[in-house]
Structure formats: C-alpha cells, structure tokens
Structure 1
Amino acid sequence: MIALYLFSGNPGQNIVQNVRLPRLVLTIVTGMSLAAVGSVYQLMLGNPLADPYILGVSSGSALGSIIFASLGLIILMPLGGFIGALLTMVLVWRLALKDGVFDKGRLIIAGVVAGLFFSSGISLLMYLGKEDTVLILSTLMGNLGRIFSHQEYQIFLGLSLFLGILIFWLYLQSRALDIMSTSDHYAQSVGIGVQALRKKIFWISSLIIGIVVSFAGIIG
C-alpha cells in the first residue's frame, strides 16, 4: 500500500498495482498454505518428513491445469487444476480404505503411486505438445511470477479468502491433531472421532493444495 501511495499518478503505479502486488499476494498465500498443510500432514501421518505434495494431489492438479492449457483454455487453467485435484483426492482416498477403514500406510502409498502416474501423464503431454513445453515447465517448477488478468485476480482474491477460512479451521483442529499424533486409541478414549476428523482434514488439506497449485504450480 505504501508503494501504491508513492507511485500514485506515475506510470509505475500500474506496474505495482497490477503486477507486483498480485505476485506478492500469491507468494504470501502460497507459502502460508503450504506451511499449514505440511504441518497438518506431518501430524496426521505421524511422519516428520511428510510434505504437502506427498499424497499426489499436486501432480493431479498440475496435470489438470496442463490439459486445459494444451486445449487452448489457458485462462481456465486454475479450473483445470481444481478439477484435477478433486479427482486425485477421490482416487487416493478410495485406495487408502481397507475394508472401509482408513489406513495411513495405504494412504501414503496411494498418494505416491498417484503422483508418479500423473507425473508420467505430464511428461507425455510435454513430449506430444512441444509448443507447450515452457508452460508445462513453469507449472512443474512453480511460477510465482504469474501475471494475472483483472478477472483472474478477482477470482484469486476470492479463493484466497476461502483458503484463509480453511487454514483457520485446520488451526482449530491443532489440539485434536496433537492428541491423535500419540495414538488413535488414546484420541478415541478422550472423545475424538478419529476417522471422521482425519477424513475432513485430508479433504480440506488436499483442497488447499489443489487451489494453490492451480495458480502457482508445484512449489518446492
């Protein structure tokens, strides 16, 4: 805001307001989201090395974005990423269930396999559509230098507010997650619905990752 005031009435105002500021907001939202989800995954999976991309949602989201771009629907890339993330979430969750019961080990394996599968799909698209290589690489490597159209930026701001609400909900579950990190039996003994809460956290965390990747690509 200080920069906007200083550049008011100058040609630099357009650059600050329409290029620099959206990139700053994108960077802050992306970092905040990845940090929150990474912490949640580490507690939920009981693995201090778990990261936000371990369940393959990022690769599914990236593939969805790239497919839309390959079809010439570049402006709809965030929508493609969102759809890809949702489909990946459904697939991974179904594979993680054993006789209808959630299994941590199966979830991690399913996520890794799904991530490799979708990454292979991205490589195939890169080979088939050589003219889209730069766009695909920017998605795979992450792109915080995105230039938003006015409409895209308005959509992103709305989704950023939505992300803030989801992250705050995850924060409210921090005590329950701490208890669940000891053991499921203990968590259940103190009245925590472990299976239901874990499912909600998985869906919300994956949704956050899907939204972030659809705009910023795979960061990290």
Structure 2
Amino acid sequence: MSAIAVAVVDDHPVFRLGMVALLSTLDDIEVVAQASSAAEALEVVDGGVHVVLMDLELGDGSGVEVTRVLRSRFPGLRILMVTMHEDEESLIASIRAGAGGYLVKGAGPDEVERGIRAVANGELIVSAAVAAKAMTAVSAPPHRVTAFPELTERECEILDLVARGCDNASISRRLVLSPKTVRNHVSNVLSKLGLPDRSAAIVRAREAGLGV
C-alpha cells in the first residue's frame, strides 16, 4: 500500500511545522507539500496529493473557498479541516464546500491520524465538539426561507444573524465570508424588503420570528 500524500495548509508557522513534524512520525503518511496562504495552497496542491489538512481562516482568504476550488480541480482530493472554530456554521460551510472531515485544533495526535486515514478512505469524520451543534442546526425547521420567500437562503441566514444583533464582522467570521460579501448581502436584503436601514431590518425580522 502506498503512503497517503498529505499537504498541510496553515498560516501559523508554529502549528504548521508542528503538524508536519507529527505526521512525519506516522507510518504510511507522507507530507508532500506545505502552504501558508490560500494563494500558495492553490499553487502547491496538485493531483499527487491525497489529503489536505486545511486551516479555515488563512491570511489572504478562506479555507472554505480554497477547498471549493481544489475539489473542483481534483474531484478525488480529500480535505480535512483543522481549525479553532467549533460553531456549526463553519462546519456546514466546510462540508458544503467539499471537506470530508472537520477537526478542532485541540485534537490529539491519535485523532488527527484517524481523521487523515478516514477521509483518505472517503469517510466523513467530525469532532464530537461540533457534531451535536451541527445536528441541531440541520434538524431546525426551515422557517427562514418561508418567512421571506423573496430572499435567497444565504440572505435569510444573514438576516437572521442581523436580527440576533450580530455586526458584519461577526457574521463574516461565523459564515466564513469576506466582510465585503456580507455587506453586499445586507444591502441586497434591505433592497429586496424595501427597508431603509439595519434597524428596520431587525424589527422586520424579529416580527417574522427570526433572531430568536
């Protein structure tokens, strides 16, 4: 059996180098590439890589977007997210982009090894810390879209967070979107609903049962 070729993508040198050192001690796992940014990841990851350990937030972009691009280039490539974020939004965004696993950075060496081998075999693996939150989110009734049929699912999601009192920066982090994208979505929501400002959007959304 050939070794699992792994690329490690993380903009924190200490974590990245530590992960490379750990993986070098494991049988049948070989680190073949490293990247410290989204741009570098898109350059160094090629068809010879089996599994990418991907950080969610990179200095020049989102690990979710890099995952989406790499999976479109190499459909057989497996992505294992390794991140500090334990919220269900980040997990769901990662899975939708094509990630096959999601581990928090507090995971132990055995869990990391198990995660790599699992996603390499096409299995889905998720840290227990976020699995329960994700199940709650997935099983929640789809009231957001029906409350405002003129909005897209993403716009409804952002309106719900606005109604909860989240600012654009917070929404950006939770949904792993750029601040500019969030601003554009908020602007579209106000335009579609004919609302003058964010305060009016909060009132309208809460009247419809969002933000609770």
Measured against the shorter chain, the TM-score band is under 0.3
Larger strand percent: 2
> What TM-score do the two structures reach when normalised by structure 1?
0.24
Normalised to the residue count of structure 2, the TM-score between the two structures is 0.25
More helix by share: 1
